[in-house]
Amino acid sequence: MNFSLTEDQLAIREMAREFAEKEVAVRAAAIDKESAFPQDLFDLMVRMGFTGLCVPEKYGGSGGNQLDKVIVVEEIAKKCAATAAVLSIHMLFAFLLLKFGSEEQKKKYLPEVTSGGCLAAFALTEPGAGSDAGSARTTAILDEASGEYVINGTKCFISGGGRAKYVALIALTQPEKGLKGFSCILVERGTPGFSVGKTEEKMGLHGSETVELIFENCRVPRENLLGEEGKGFKYAMIGLDAARIGIAAQALGIAEGALEEAVKYMHQRVQFGKPIAELQGLQWYIADMATKMEAAKWLTYYAAYLESAGLPHTKEAAMAKLNASENARFVTNLALQIHGGYGYMKDYPLERMYRDAKITEIYEGTSEIHKVVISRAVLG
C-alpha cells in the first residue's frame, strides 16, 4: 500500500498552492464581501489547466485523474472555499460528458469547458425535490415531428447556473416510467425558453453563484441527449459520487486553512504573559483538529484513488464527504474559538471559513443522506 504522491502530483500541489497563496488569498475577503464571481481567478485556472484536469488532452484537457483534482481543490479551498467550489462543480459537466457522451459530443463540448474558458453547470435539484431527487418533475418530452425535446420545469440551487454556457439537465423524458424515465439533456445558454430566475443570497460561498433555472417550452435538438434515454437518474448518481469527492476536498481544504490560521494566531497571541500556544487546553484543541483533519484527508484521497482506478466507490465517496464536511465544521468552530473575539470579526478569515464550511454538510447530499448511503452499503 503506497501513500506517497507521484512526482507529477507533488508538482500539481505546489502549483496549486502557489496559485492559492499568491492569487486567491488576496482576493478571498473581497469576493466574500462583494458576492463577486471570481472571473479573474477562473480565467487563471483555465490557463493553468485546472479546469481540464481528468480530461484527455485530445479534448482540450490536462489529463490526470480524480486525485489530481482533489489536490488542486484542497489547496485552493484553504484560501477561498468559493473559488474552490466554482472549480469543483464546474468539472462535473466534463466528467459526465467524458463518461457518457458520444464522440461527437466530446469533441464539441469538452474543449470549450476545459481549455476554452466556458463555465458549465449541472441541474438536478428542484423546489420539491432536494434530497429526494427522484421526485423531480421537470420534463423534456420528445416532439417526434421536429426531432426536438421540449423542456418545461424549474431547477433551483444550481451552482454556476447563471453564468454557465452549458447545463447538464436531468429531466423526465418518459414521466410514466418513474426513475427509469429520467434522461440527461444538454442545454446551451441563450436557447429560447431557457432563463435564469432568482439568485440566492447565501450564508457563505458568496463568490459561487446559486440560481434558479426556468424552462418554458425550451426546445433543444435530439442530439443533445447525453447517453441513453432513461439512464439520466443513474448518470446523476454516478456524477454525484464524483462530485462528493470534490466537496470532501473542499471541506478538507477549509479545515486545513482554519488550522493553519489557528496555529499562526496561537504563536502570536500573548495572554497571561505567554503565547497561548503554551496553554495546554488550546494545545488539546489543536491535537483534536489535526487528528480529525488527517483522517478526513485519507478518506478523501482513498475515495479519489478508487474512482481513478475505476473501482466501486459510492460508499467511500459518501464516507469521505460526510467525514470531511463534519470535520470542517468542527475545525473551523474551534479555530474561531481560539481566536476569541477576533475570530468573530471580519478582519480575520475565520468568520468567513466558519460560514463557508456549513454548506459542505448540505450540498451534493446532506449528511443524513450520506448516512443512508453508507448504512445501505454496509447492511447490504
Which residue numbers are catalytic?
Answer: 364
Q: Would you say 251 and 243 are in contact if contact means Cβ atoms under 8 Å apart?
A: no
Q: Which three cell numbers stand for residue 80?
A: 477561498
User: How far, in Å, CA of 362 to CA of 142, rounded?
Assistant: 34
Q: For residue 7, what are the contacts with CB-CB under 8 A and spacing of at least 6?
A: none
User: How far, in Å, CA of 172 to CA of 194, rounded?
Assistant: 17
User: How far, in Å, CA of 25 to CA of 151, rounded?
Assistant: 41
User: How far, in Å, CA of 306 to CA of 310, rounded?
Assistant: 6
The string of DSSP letters for 116-156 reads: S---EEEE--BTTBSS-GGG---EEEEETTTTEEEEEEEEE
Q: Would you say 61 and 3 are in contact if contact means Cβ atoms under 8 Å apart?
A: no
Alpha-carbon distance values, 92 to 105, 113, 119, 246 (Å): 15, 10, 11, 9
Q: For residue 190, give the amino acid letter.
A: G
Main-chain phi, psi angles of 34, to 5 degrees: -95, 0
Q: Would you say 72 and 198 are in contact if contact means Cβ atoms under 8 Å apart?
A: no
